[in-house]
């Protein structure tokens, strides 16, 4: 969001009308952070609901809203099938987007921002926004996430109730752990997380497991079953804005390559991002407070695009418990 926020601020200062379309999933995080005349949220759930007629009507309503702006320029930061269709139907006179190779959507854009090969994905957004704003070559960073007082109060209540129920001293260091990920190849073994948690607990830390969805719930429950003192489990209890508020209350974070890791990193929480076959150069955290850790042995490049590996993802599994735990304890000064 950083380049988008910077571009919006500059365009508004220059007197341009600015309208932004963002997926509704991110609404809690971006409210109040964009200098725009209006922020419209893509109603994905309503459009993709089982009632296809209702979904089509919702989509049509969105299109009519976009066309009413009579935009001179539309800037697409994603150029996927959904956004490319909206660009085509927006009615904008000039359509801009990132460079697309061998893609049927490429012809829908009048101009493309050249893709910087082998650089962080951040630059895709940065270079697209540079087509309309002189935002300069800033150091890659996350966008601003506004503090939400209501979410903060909710998080404080949830933590206080857990501390009371478990007889925990609220003055102890709070360590967040996300042992899940969207893909199995990104999962550091759960027994390793168990071993790290035991060491953190022995040094007086309060460990909180976070996550969302059935897979994360299963992983967290399996981890707690192996702990004599179960960690606080907040899986499926926090929305995005509450999760951001929760991270601001943490002393440290440990997790796999995942969305929560980036959200924690965006809150400048010191932490460890565990990477294996993913390309950390393109998808790694943007905060220098988050340390990327990988195994001692590398894998074949073919592992990056598959769910199996002839070396059992040794690039991930050879990361030792000792290295992770020692770095965490050192950063926590324990």
What is the domain partition of the chain in residue ranges?
Answer: 2-129, 149-331
Q: How confident is the model at residue 275 (pLDDT cuts 50, 70, 90)?
A: very high
Class of domain 2-129: alpha beta
pLDDT at 101 over 70: no
pLDDT at 305 over 70: no
Transcribe 282-332 into DSSP letters: HHS-S-TTEEEE--SS---GGGGG-S--TT-SHHHHTS-HHHHHHHHHHHT
Q: Tell me the percentage of the chain whose pLDDT exceeds 90.
A: 68
What's CA 44's distance to the chain center, in Å?
18
pLDDT at 304 over 60: no
Q: How confident is the model at residue 30 (pLDDT cuts 50, 70, 90)?
A: confident
Task: Give pLDDT, residue 104.
Answer: 67
Length of the chain: 334
- For residue range 149-197, what is the model confidence (pLDDT) as tens digits? 899 999 999 999 999 888 888 789 999 999 999 988 899 999 999 999 9
Query: With contact defined as beta carbons under 8 Å apart, do 122 and 286 qualify?
Result: yes
SS (H, E, C) 138-158: CCCCCCCCCCCHHHHHHHHHH
pLDDT at 143 over 90: no
- For residue range 211-270, what is the model confidence (pLDDT) as tens digits? 999 999 999 999 999 999 999 999 999 999 999 999 999 999 999 999 999 999 999 999
- Give the mean pLDDT of 103-119: 82
Task: Give pLDDT, residue 148.
Answer: 86
Query: With contact defined as beta carbons under 8 Å apart, do 30 and 1 qualify?
Result: yes
**Would the CATH topology of 2-129 be identical to that of 149-331?**
yes
- In sequence order, what are the beta bridge partners of 23? 42
pLDDT at 129 over 80: yes
pLDDT at 43 over 60: yes
Q: Tell me the percentage of the chain whose pLDDT exceeds 70.
A: 96
- Rounded to two decimals, the pTM is 0.89
Task: Give pLDDT, residue 69.
Answer: 94
Task: Give pLDDT, residue 142.
Answer: 85
C-alpha distances out from residue 36 to 15, 32, 67, 228, Å: 11, 9, 17, 51
Taking alpha carbons only, the member of 131, 110, 113 closest to residue 10 is 131
Task: Give pLDDT, residue 302.
Answer: 59
Task: Give pLDDT, residue 141.
Answer: 83
Task: Give pLDDT, residue 71.
Answer: 95
- Give the mean pLDDT of 271-289: 91
Q: Edge-to-edge, what's the strand order for the sheet holding 232-233? A: 232-233, 206-209, 174-178, 252-256, 271-274, 290-293
- Average pLDDT of the residues of the chain: 91
What CATH number was assigned to the domain covering residues 149-331?
3.40.50.2000
38-42 vs 19-23, strand pairing mode: parallel
């Amino acid at each position: 969001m950083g380049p988008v926020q910077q571009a919006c601020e500059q365009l508004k200062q220059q007197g341009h009308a600015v309208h932004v379309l963002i997926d509704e999933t991110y609404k809690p995080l971006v409210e109040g952070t964009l200098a725009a005349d209006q922020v419209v949220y893509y109603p994905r759930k309503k459009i993709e609901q089982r009632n296809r007629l209702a979904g089509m009507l919702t989509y049509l309503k969105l299109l009519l809203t976009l066309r009413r702006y009579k935009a001179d320029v539309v800037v697409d930061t994603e150029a996927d099938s959904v956004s490319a269709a909206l660009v085509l139907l927006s009615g904008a006179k000039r359509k801009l987007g990132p460079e697309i190779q061998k893609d049927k959507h490429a012809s829908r854009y009048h101009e493309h921002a050249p893709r910087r090969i082998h650089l962080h994905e951040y630059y895709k957004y940065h270079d697209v926004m540079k087509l309309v704003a002189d935002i300069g070559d800033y150091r890659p960073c996350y966008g601003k996430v506004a503090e939400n007082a209501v979410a903060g109060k909710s998080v404080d209540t949830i933590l206080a109730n857990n501390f009371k129920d478990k007889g925990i001293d609220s003055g102890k260091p709070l360590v967040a752990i996300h042992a899940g990920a969207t893909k199995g190849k990104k999962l550091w073994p759960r027994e390793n997380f168990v071993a790290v948690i035991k060491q953190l607990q022995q040094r007086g830390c309060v460990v909180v497991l976070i996550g969302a969805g059935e897979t994360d719930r299963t992983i967290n429950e399996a981890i707690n079953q192996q702990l004599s003192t179960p960690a606080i489990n907040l899986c499926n209890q926090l929305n995005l804005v509450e999760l951001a508020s929760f991270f601001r209350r943490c002393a440290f974070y440990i997790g796999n390559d995942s969305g929560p890791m980036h959200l924690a990193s965006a809150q400048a929480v010191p932490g460890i991002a565990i990477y294996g076959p993913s390309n950390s150069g393109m998808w790694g955290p943007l905060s220098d407070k988050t340390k990327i850790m990988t195994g001692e042995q590398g894998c074949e490049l073919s592992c990056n695009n598959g769910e199996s590996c002839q070396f059992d993802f040794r690039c991930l599994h050879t990361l030792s418990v000792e290295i992770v735990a020692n770095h965490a304890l050192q950063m926590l000064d324990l």
